[in-house]
């Protein structure tokens, strides 16, 4: 556990605001840098596919919402295990934290293989289910099928990254997740394009390329995820940390641990599943407009991520700090962390929204040179820019509530805003306004979500949640 966090948890009375803020920044900066750098590399990745034309961009963008659906299930399971790790470590129960980590490893193997198989089976009918135009169905199906094959490894990286962060180590996930994206760009260069002549510093040479197009982009992503998942696994076995595990000391699944994963993870899984299903519906609405709208939507979503990724970095710190404070019995400290870090997220996202509005054309031009796509992408980015501050509030407040084990109420709040506001307004506005109507609906929903999450945070009922009220000291089991 981070030494500064340990000293805050052990201190008598309420620490000074500057000490609290210092702990937040120490945990946050690696995650913020990680999210920003990942987004920048994803920009390069998207631009590489975009160079193949709007049809290729649309093929990749078509399956994005479905990929988020599967990623949501992985994230929910990671929440279920990693929050337990944070609260165990906050309470000084290091052996219990290691037990949870071992059980997480077992769960990754079993659940990851199951989800990967479902993804491969779904890849064949998916483009038709999303009402994609015939010209992009083949590439979209191939792209998602290859991504699905790597899902067990993607799940592993997600799980171990979350566990390490909740143990106070944000630098290792930062480095390994950056490596994923750097590898992805390098492999994209080799597998997307055919053999070609490249000029560099006045010299020309022939560069090998597989020329697989959209399939090459998926293969590059899959290889990157496999490589980094292996490195994450080695980290939890070899790096000295509170969650380091060993082959010599293994733990079986424990009923209490799995029940807690269920309590924490089920609302998160339902939230992300229903949210992603809503996004799938919205994607199908956009696909019914035309290929330009699908491409512009995908590029605008990618461009927008630069503004909100720092908030996700701060949210990871919120989960760790609130979780460890609750585990240590420091409820007032948990409340201070939650409120301070949420307003920090609002501030950062306000700057992000301003940048998004001012530089919208330049952001879209990174990915494509097609005038119609640039014009439409710029329009929708400027619509959503006004909602970014409240979007940041919902992201960071959600991370803080998650650290306390509060996942049921956030699920209901997200469900209400996504289906009651975004989907409803999208259905009403897509006809008369096209893609701009869909993004106007998104902006309205993000504002509503931010408001209700901040109300939940300030009411403070989440401070009374007890994840381990039925807990008994577990016996160590070797297997």
Q: What is the pLDDT at residue 313?
A: 82
DSSP 8-class letter at 198: E
Q: What is the pLDDT at residue 232?
A: 96
CB burial readout 307-335, b (16+ within 10 A) else e: bbbbbbbbbbbbbbbbbbbbbbebbebbb
Task: Give the HSE-up count for residue 17: Cα atoms under 13 Å, Cβ half-sphere.
Answer: 3
CA distance linking residue 82 with residue 71, whole number of Å: 16
Q: What is the pLDDT at residue 477?
A: 43
Q: What is the pLDDT at residue 85?
A: 94
Q: What is the pLDDT at residue 242?
A: 92
Q: What is the pLDDT at residue 2?
A: 57
Domain count, the chain: 1
- Residue 471 domain-assigned (yes or no): no
Q: What is the pLDDT at residue 479?
A: 42
Q: What is the pLDDT at residue 330?
A: 85
**Could you tell me where the beta strands, DSSP code E, fall in 153-282?**
194-200, 203-210
Which residues, given as ranges, of the chain have pLDDT below 50? Answer: 470, 472-479
Q: What is the pLDDT at residue 417?
A: 93
Domain region containing 455: 3-197+204-464
- Residue 472 domain-assigned (yes or no): no
CA-wise closest residue to 385 among 354, 348, 363: 354
Q: What is the pLDDT at residue 201?
A: 75
- Residue 476 domain-assigned (yes or no): no
- Residue 478 domain-assigned (yes or no): no
- Residue 299 domain-assigned (yes or no): yes
CA-wise closest residue to 457 among 384, 377, 389, 402: 402
């Amino acid at each position: 556990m981070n030494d500064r966090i340990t000293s805050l948890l052990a201190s008598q009375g309420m620490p000074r605001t500057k000490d609290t803020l210092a702990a937040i920044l120490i945990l946050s900066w690696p995650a913020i840098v990680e999210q920003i750098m990942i987004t920048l590399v994803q920009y390069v990745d998207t631009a590489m596919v975009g160079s193949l034309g709007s049809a290729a961009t649309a093929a990749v963008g078509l399956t994005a919402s479905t990929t988020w659906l599967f990623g949501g299930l992985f994230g929910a399971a990671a929440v279920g295990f990693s929050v337990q790790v944070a609260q165990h470590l906050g309470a000084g129960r290091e052996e219990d934290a290691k037990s949870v980590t071992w059980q997480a490893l077992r769960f990754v193997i079993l659940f990851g293989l199951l989800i990967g198989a479902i993804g491969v089976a779904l890849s064949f009918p998916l483009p038709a289910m999303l009402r994609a135009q015939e010209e992009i169905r083949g590439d979209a199906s191939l792209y998602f099928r290859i991504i699905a094959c790597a899902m067990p490894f993607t799940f592993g990286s997600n799980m171990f990254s979350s566990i390490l962060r909740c143990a106070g180590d944000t630098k290792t996930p930062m480095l390994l997740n950056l490596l994923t994206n750097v590898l992805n760009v390098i492999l994209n260069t080799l597998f997307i394009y055919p053999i070609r002549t490249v000029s560099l510093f006045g010299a020309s040479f022939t560069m090998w390329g597989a020329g697989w197009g959209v399939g090459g982009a998926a293969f590059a992503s899959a290889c990157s995820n496999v490589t980094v998942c292996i490195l994450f696994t080695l980290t939890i076995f070899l790096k000295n940390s509170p969650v380091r595990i060993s082959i010599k000391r293994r733990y079986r699944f424990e009923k209490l641990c799995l029940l807690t994963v269920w309590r924490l993870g089920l609302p998160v899984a339902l939230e992300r599943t229903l949210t992603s299903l809503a996004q799938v519906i919205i994607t199908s609405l956009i696909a019914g407009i035309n290929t330009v709208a699908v491409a512009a939507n995908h590029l605008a979503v990618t461009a927008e991520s630069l503004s909100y990724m720092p908030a996700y970095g701060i949210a990871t710190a919120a989960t760790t700090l609130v979780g460890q404070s609750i585990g240590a019995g420091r409820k007032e400290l948990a409340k201070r962390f939650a409120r301070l870090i949420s307003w920090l997220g609002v501030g950062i996202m306000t700057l992000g929204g301003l940048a998004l509005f001012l530089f919208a054309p330049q952001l879209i031009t990174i990915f494509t040179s097609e005038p119609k796509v640039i014009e439409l992408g710029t329009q929708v980015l400027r619509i959503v820019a006004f909602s970014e501050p409240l979007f940041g509030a919902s992201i960071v407040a959600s991370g803080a509530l998650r650290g306390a084990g509060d996942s049921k109420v956030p699920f209901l709040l997200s469900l209400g805003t996504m289906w009651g506001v975004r989907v409803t307004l999208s259905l009403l506005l897509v006809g008369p306004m096209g893609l701009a109507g869909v993004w106007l609906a998104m902006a309205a929903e993000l504002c509503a979500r931010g408001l209700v999450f901040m109300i939940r945070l300030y009411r403070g009922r989440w401070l009374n949640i007890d994840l381990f009220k039925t807990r008994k000291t577990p016996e160590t089991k070797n297997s």
